[in-house]
Amino acid sequence: MAGNPSADQLPIGVLALQGDFREHLQVLQQLGETAVAVKSREQLEHIAALIIPGGESSVIDKLSRLYGLFEPIRASIHAGLPVYGTCAGLIMLADTVEDSIEGQQSFGGLDVVVRRNAFGSQTDSFETDLSIPELGENPVHAVFIRAPVVESVGARARALATLDDGRIVAVEQGNLLGTSFHPEITGDTRFHEYFVRRVRAMQ
């Protein structure tokens, strides 16, 4: 578990335009991290990392452009800012998005093809246990809500977790981490801890 941040550590931001950003903020605070809800370009400039929450990817896309955050976030990702995207956040990190709405854009940076709403509607949500060696021997209980799936992984990215049928639901690449599911709502903080460790190692 992450310890209390030292005075020179920058906070970890959570993009707070739409979706379940409050849950991510609570997990980070539980881990002893200073967390900030990011709604402006100025806030983006004073964080060590960013989490893009679950929600509706097309709405996050539109609001990020409305608030003048789209291009700064895209530039920050390519400059090496550590970013973790869950569900809609994974879609926003993908270089290629299938089944997107007309005109929808992603920040990109993650060398994957992601299919939006791959598991169907809200009523098709489900839970399952995943084996993720990077997080220890105990399985991760994963909650999928209108979740995307990673259709393919490019040479720069690697899969962290798959379903029993082989579909990829967690990936990482350098400064980027993405999951199809919502670890922020299960009480299992290991994915956030994993991300925080990566962030602090990069500082």
**H-helix or E-strand spanning residue 197:** helix 190-202
Q: Which helix (H) or strand (E) holds 193?
A: helix 190-202
Residue 7 has pLDDT above 50, yes or no: no
* Total-model pTM: 0.93
Question: Closest Cα to residue 108, out of 143, 156, 46, 63?
Answer: 156
Q: Between 70-78 and 57-66, two packed helices, what is the crossing angle to 10 degrees?
A: 100
Name, in order, each residue with C-beta under 8 angstroms of 56's C-beta and a sequence gap of 6 or more: 18, 19, 88
pLDDT 10s digits, 181-200: 999 999 999 999 999 999 99
At 30, is the secondary structure helix, strand, or coil? helix
Return the bridge partners of 1, or none: none
- pLDDT tens for 94-128 read 999 999 899 999 999 999 999 998 876 665 689 99
Give catalytic residues, as residue numbers.
87, 182, 184
Q: Is the pLDDT of residue 158 over 80?
A: yes
pLDDT digits (tens, 9 = 90+) for 28-86: 999 999 999 999 999 999 999 999 999 999 999 999 999 999 999 999 999 999 999 99
What is the structure's pLDDT at 6? 44
| Per-residue DSSP letter, 150 | E
> In which element (H, E) is residue 90 found?
helix 88-93
